[in-house]
Homo-oligomer: A and B are copies of this chain.
């Protein structure tokens, strides 16, 4: 059974069970900021996914997803990058477990800069260089590569909801960029 099937395996968690758990427990997530780097490790571009949200409005998102039962954090990171960027993105999963930040998504807006109407999610956030070909998968319309300057554009930022715009700026700050 591949990792991708885990999400749909009733042995793990039915939709109903997950919905029940979401009302009672913080759910563990990983967020990944995909980047293109040169041979000096300098980030030239960050990758942002374009999707349609529930109301059919275009929105931009980072790679994000749940950590499953009995799954290592690094495997969850790899699985979600593969799920969103395709099987040949060649991600360089971070060597250390220390995330650059922890994003706390609350169902109530305003508690933190992060918001998720469905649940209380706590996400370990990592910057992940990708060296291969990336192509948007599943429900993503497009994957856009932006320079750090373009990523800070208010128009781009306005299209990122749930606080993903803040998380992207926090990632750029961590990378040593002006934000």
Contact B111 A72 (CB under 8 A): yes
Contact A122 B178 (CB under 8 A): no
Give complex CA distance A108, B39 in Å: 23
Contact B13 A174 (CB under 8 A): no
A93-B40, A96-B100 are known contacts. Are A73 and B122 too (CB-CB below 8 A)?
yes
Give complex CA distance A95, B36 in Å: 10
A53 at the B interface (CB under 8 A): no
Contact B21 A24 (CB under 8 A): yes
* A 28-62 to B, binary, CB cutoff 8 A, 1 in contact else 0: 10000001010111110000000000000000000
Contact B26 A68 (CB under 8 A): yes
Interface size class of A (residues with CB under 8 A): 35 or more
Q: Which residues of B contact A70 (CB under 8 A)?
A: 26, 106-108, 120
**Count of identical protomers in the assembly:** 4
Chain A 99-116 residues near chain B, CB threshold 8 A = 99-104, 106-108, 111-113
Q: Which residues of B contact A127 (CB under 8 A)?
A: 95-96
Give complex CA distance A174, B113 in Å: 13
Give complex CA distance A71, B23 in Å: 13
Contact A23 B120 (CB under 8 A): no
CB-CB nearest in chain B for A67? B26
Q: Which residues of B contact A104 (CB under 8 A)?
A: 72-73, 97
The 3 closest A-B pairs by CB, nearest first: A41-B93, A173-B173, A97-B102
Interchain residue pairs with CB less than 8 A apart (27): A17-B20, A24-B69, A25-B69, A26-B28, A26-B67, A26-B70, A28-B122, A35-B95, A37-B95, A39-B93, A40-B93, A72-B112, A73-B102, A92-B92, A96-B100, A96-B101, A96-B127, A98-B98, A98-B102, A101-B174, A101-B176, A166-B178, A166-B179, A169-B173, A169-B178, A170-B176, A170-B179
